[in-house]
Structures are given as C-alpha cells and as structure tokens.
Amino acid sequence: DDWNIPAPGVSATPLHVRVFATPGALRDRATLYVNDGQDADAVGLADTLASLARTGSIAAPVVVAIDMPPDRMGAYGFSDRAARRAIVAPTRYGVVGSRAQAYSEWLAHVLVPWVEARYPVRRGATSRALLGWSLGAANAFNVGWQYPDVFGRVGAFSPSLWLSTEPTDDASVQRTRIAQSMLARGAPRGLHLFLAVGTDEETSDRDGDGINDALDDVRELVDGSLSMPGLRQLGYRIEPDAPARHRGGDVVVYELPGGIHRQSSWARMLPAFLRWAYPRGATVSGVVRSASPADTPRRPVARRAHL
C-alpha cells in the first residue's frame, strides 16, 4: 500500500510511506518502521524478509517504509524531547538536524497512530522497531532513546555518531558528539539496540588510537570513553560474542568484516538484525560479529555518501 501523509513542520508536501508484508494475515503482527524507505529495494528488504519467513527463521513484521523527507539533513538527526527542541549539528555538508524534533514527533505521535488505526497490527513498544542507516540510523537511535514508550527496539546501521555541536577541530568533535552526550545526561531507557558497522567504512581517526572513527564511535557509544559513559556504564547488558543465539542482553554490536558505507553492506547486515528483532521463540539480545553469505540478497546497489 502506498500512502502520502502530511507532515507539517517536516515537509511542505506529504511524505510518501509504503506499507508491505509477506503473504498472510496482518493481524497481531509486529511492525518495522524504516527511515530512508526509498532504499528498501536497494538493501533487499522485501526479499530478505520473504526468505527468512519462508524458512521459519523470523516472525515477519509489517514494514512501514518512510521515504526520506525533502530536507533529509534537516529531518534526520537528534532532538531533545523534554525540551521540545532539535539538537543542531553543524557539518561541512551543512546543518544537520534542524527539523529533527518535528520529524521525531511526527514519527512517534502521528505516523504510528495513523498506521495502527488502519492496520490490525500488534500495539505497544515491544512490538515496534525502527531501523535506519547512516544519517537515518542516527535518527533511529535518537527516536529510540527519546521515545522508548513508542519504540522498544532500534536497528542502527552505520550510524552517523560523529555528529557534534562543536566541529571546530578533532578534539572538539570528540568532546561534543551528540549521541554520546545524550547518554552522559540521561538515565537508562528500556531500549533494545542493534548497532551495526562495517570495518572498512572509513580511514579517519580523530583520536589517533589506530581505530577508524566509524568503528570507534560505535564502540565508545557502547563501552564509553575516558570522558563519557557508554551504554555499559548505564547498566545495559552487552553480550559477549554469541553468533549462534541471542541470550538476554540489551545491546548487539555487529561489526561486518569488510563492510563499507553503502547499501550493499547494509543489505548484508539485514538478516542478523531481522533474526534479532523478530525471533521465533527466542529472547531479544545478543552480539553478532559476522553474517552468513547465504543470507545476503544478490542485487545491484548504488553508492551512498556518509550522510
């Protein structure tokens, strides 16, 4: 089903939303909301869902794929729900997140009720997940952190965790990274989080520790740094490497060997995320370090910049 849904404050024109599912009744299914829904075909989302559902590997959700807003950089980013404001990140590409508060509110308080009024899906935060990649992943983390009463599970592939409020130099970026600062100021949320990143996404190394920034930013969000706490310090359970099954933790860290910042790598991350988010008879948790090549959809994909 294709819909065009008004989003005042986010876009002057309605946002295109596509709702789809594997064959069968929709009643009492969980839901998966997806930022950058226009990329759903490029990452093989429908094909991967169908393959995993056909083998009984997952309880397939209803997908709500949200095309990027016209001002993607403005809408995707970080916000402060309590203060009702966007947290703006100046970058060399332009300002990121100026509309993030409006988009996050629209997603949580307009789109979710709209979908649930029209489709007989299961309700409640534990039945809803939000997925994004790159800048859309940063926003997915933000929405999960700010709205744990709406989304209980979040998938963030190659998240733009380098976004900061003071990007004047490397030290300032390290000190003012927005996602890490949110953890430092906040209390734990009832959130399950799947963080995925490729090992070869970039070569930049702001702090000179020999680990590229894409990996380092994800690891420090989980494990903390000298100056900021991570999810572990807030009490989140981080599983040791457990590729075979998920055993009760809160946070998954999936490092994809050779993964790059493109749709081809996000397609390879999908099967592990879907098994984690929509298991049949398993708990939500775990740490995954690799993917089975057989899970990866064979589809040509486009190049994608880091935003």
Average pLDDT over every residue of 25-46: 97
- pLDDT tens digits for range 147-162: 999 999 999 999 999 9
Report d(CA 263, CA 299) in Å as an integer. 10
Inform me whether the pLDDT recorded for 233 exceeds 60.
Answer: yes
Q: What is the pLDDT of residues 177-226, one digit of tens each?
A: 999 999 988 788 889 999 999 999 999 989 888 899 999 999 999 999 88
Q: Give the Cα-Cα-Cα angle 132, 263, 174 (nearest 5 degrees).
A: 60
Mean pLDDT of 32-42: 98
Work out the percent of the chain whose per-residue pLDDT is above 70.
88
Handedness of CA 128, 111, 79, 35 (dihedral sign): positive
Dihedral of CA atoms 50, 53, 57, 62 in degrees, nearest 10, equals: 90
- Torsion, Cα 198 204 210 213, to 10 degrees, reads -50
pLDDT value, residue 185: 86
Sketch the domain layout of the chain as residue ranges.
2-295
Greater confidence (191 vs 113) lies with 113
Q: What is the mean pLDDT of residues 105-131?
A: 98
Tell me which of 2.40.50.140, 1.10.10.10, 3.30.420.40, 3.40.50.1820 is the CATH number of domain 2-295.
3.40.50.1820
Q: At residue 307, does pLDDT exceed 80? A: no
- Average pLDDT in the chain: 89
Please choose, from the candidates 199, 83, 89, the residue with its C-alpha nearest in 3D space to the C-alpha of residue 135. Answer: 89
pLDDT for residue 294:
35
Q: pLDDT, tens digit, for every residue of 56-71?
A: 999 999 999 999 999 9
- Residue 84 in this model has a pLDDT that exceeds 70: yes
